[in-house]
Homo-oligomer: A and B are copies of this chain.
Amino acid sequence: MAASARRGSPLSSREIYGEALRLIDERGVEALSMRKLAAELDVNPMSLYHHVPNKEALLEGVCDLVISGIELPADDAAPWQEQLKALGVGLRAIALAHPALYPYLVSRPRLMRHDTVWEAQNRVLAAAGVPEERRPRIRNVLFAFTTGFLLTEINGVFPEPDDEAFDEAVDLIINGLSAYGSCGESGA
């Protein structure tokens, strides 16, 4: 492996994705360019193309990097209302950690199809008493509501990052889901 003329070690796609994420977090998605990224890595722009097919794939890789780092609380002992909230908090943490990337992140199916998120949300729905055959669709709705709320929050459409709005949103969903169970057999 020919080392870069300017760097000691050769590039890796992991390193590229990491630096791209850093740039996005710092200056926004549209400020990211292959040239700037290459400069930041002390490398010729075209060198990136030996590890990443194009910019689209670069962003995809950055999304994967973030998604792979998701850690969701999985406390099956807790009542489903608390689990639901914990799930929301987990997703919100990602949104707040990478607000610039988040709109891009939720605009592709990757996050939605992520196993950890899928299973966690499905588990909550089961605990809430949602009949199995309705779970997939309701879980899609739940996902859409969650990311939609976070997007709106991130985009600054709310007056400001608003913890109370978040609580209100969680409550609204909890109340909504309660009706799907056997009419009131809630835990907590």
- Residues of A near any B CB (own CB < 8 A): 103, 106-109, 112, 134, 137-138, 140-149, 151-153, 155-158, 162, 164-165, 168-169, 171-180
Minimum CB–CB distance from A77 to chain B (whole Å) comes to 25
Total identical chains: 2
Point out the residues of chain B lying under 8 angstroms from A169, CB to CB: 141, 144-145
Choice from B108, B138, B143, B157 contacting A112 with Cβ under 8 Å? B157
A152 adjacent to B147 (CB under 8 Å)? yes
Point out the residues of chain B lying under 8 angstroms from A168, CB to CB: 134, 137-138, 141
Minimum CB–CB distance from A49 to chain B (whole Å) comes to 21
Minimum CB–CB distance from A30 to chain B (whole Å) comes to 11
A155 adjacent to B108 (CB under 8 Å)? yes
